[in-house]
Every structure is written in C-alpha cells, then in structure tokens.
A and B are shown apart, each in its own frame.
Chain A
Amino acid sequence: MKTAVIQFPGSNCDADALHAARLTLDPDAQFVWHTEAGLPEGTELVFLPGGFSYGDHLRSGAIAARSPIMAAVKEHAERGGFVLGVCNGFQVLTESGLLPGALSRNRDLHFHCAPVHLRVENHQTAFTGAYEANQVLEIPIAHGEGNYYADPETIARLEAEGRVVFRYMDNPNGSLNDIAGIINEDGNVLGMMPHPERAVELLLGSEDGLGMFESLKVGVVK
C-alpha cells in the first residue's frame, strides 16, 4: 500500500512512522514535507505522525491543519483514500475537521509516556480487520493533550455508529467515554492517541500494533 508520511516542523515520530510503514506496508514509503501542494502519485495511505507540530503553539495540531499539504490530504480523504493520524496526527485531523471533536490538556496536566491497554471496540474497519472483537492491545502513549472531547450529540453518534474504534482500559487522560481512537463516517480516516507504529516489533516491547498495518495491507472490511 503506497504510503506517504507527512512531516511538519516539530514532527518527531515521523521516522518511527516511516519505519513501520516500510516494514509492513510499503518498502518505498516516503516523507512528504508540509509545504508540498500535492501527494505523490498513487498514494493510498497518508500517515500523519506524532510529535509537536509548530511546538503545539496556539493549539496542538492547529497550525499544521492549515498547512498547504492538508488541502491535498483532505482531497485524498474525500476520494476515499486512507488517512491514519497518530497522536499529534489525531490532533491535526480534529483541527482540520476530518474527524469530529477536539483534544485538550490531560486531566492531570501531566505528560503520560507509558504502555497502555486498549480494547478494540470495532474490529470491522479497514484499520482493524486483523484484530479479534474486543481484543486487548498493549500500545504505548506519549502525550500531554490527549483528553478527547466532543459535544454530547457527537459522542452519542460516534457510539451509535460504532465509530469508537479503540477504548482505554485505564483512561490516562480524561477522554470522554475512555475514547482512544475514532474513525470517520466513511471508515477511511482514523485518529488515535496511542502509537501503533511503536509496537510493530518485539524489540520495542510489543507487536500489538502490527494488526493495524496488516489490516490496511489486506484492505478488506469484515
């Protein structure tokens, strides 16, 4: 699956994302700088990596969401192309309107960097088809602003439509309904705070993130 990893000033999980993508999806996966107007021809997956784009100034993800490449990412998403936003990438997706809600400061104001346990709430998406229903994954988090918020109508809708894809077993940041990851209405844009790209080799402590990339490679929704 031809993959483009977008780099913003301050992205710091870009190399991890590229490594995971090359290992699992596309040996020729490449970086795309945020000032580019377009994606490489034939791009199937856009990976918005974690980090601190623009130093989290103004709001995390806000300035990156308005950078030139994001117009192309939106067009890609509208055409049905896959977009995966991890951590700061998730913040960029909410700020750009590709996913609903917002991510604010962790409830305890602490930066949390630790492996956490997630439950796969919806294994019938293109991102999670390789997982079992309710499978529990161990995947690391590393964020200060991962407290997911949306108005009650939006939360109810996400829940009713099975769009809460991952839920924390032990909520580290105060997210409503323990939400760790959500998907858009069409099922091709997924945002999550935990880092699956940092859990693709046992050397890293866990292989539980591999399922996400294996699901995308197959690209079949159960």
Chain B
Amino acid sequence: MPTFNAKVFVTLKPSILDPQGRTVERALSHLDHANVAGVRVGKYIELTLSGERAEVEAQLADIVENVLSNPVMENARWELEEAREVAGA
C-alpha cells in the first residue's frame, strides 16, 4: 500500500486581524527591515497517510477542512506526494 506525505498550510483569512503577524512585522521594522510588509503567521502541519491516492486525497481534504482548519477564520491548502521507498526498510 503506497504511503503519502502531506504538507498542510493554514493561514488566517486576510480579513482577520493577525496580531502575531503584526507583532513580527513591527519587530522587523525595529531591526531596520523597514521595507518588510504584510507579515502573516500561520501553521504548517505534516501528516503521513497510507492508502490509494484517490482515497487518501479525499480523506486529507476532509481532515484539512473539518479538523485542521476552521473555515470561519482560516484558509487552508495542502500538498501531497508519494513517499519514496527507503532502501532496506
């Protein structure tokens, strides 16, 4: 059964205040990076899933939309790639 590595990126919607992003942006400005703008802080989540690709994709979409992100305030996207066989494993 193939194994897949998933990378999930969760960010606050543009309309939601991101106090962490704003704090980092301000800190960068104080560190003489005054040209940096639009800092947003989000989450990065890794998962490993096993199964056939179509089923794994559907399952991952469900997990991302219904558990890992809250669609009221967050946007989420994911990447999925088949894990390479590890020699001797």
Contact = CB atoms under 8 A, between A and B. Distances in A.
A62 interface: yes
Contacts, number: 33
Contacts of A108: 19
A62 B20 contact: no
A101 interface: yes
B20 A101 contact: no
Interface string A105-116: 111110000000
A94 B72 CA distance: 10
Nearest to B71: A102
Range of interface residues on A (Cβ < 8 Å): 20 to 34
Contacts of A104: 12, 16-17, 73
B20 A105 contact: yes
Interface residues of B, number: 11
Contacts of A58: 67-68
Interface in A70-102: 94-95, 100-102
Contacts of B67: 58, 62, 66
A220 B68 CA distance: 40
Interface string A173-213: 01000000000000000000000000000000000000000
B70 A105 contact: no
Interface in A33-61: 58-59
Interface of A: 58-59, 62, 66, 94-95, 100-102, 104-109, 147, 149-151, 174
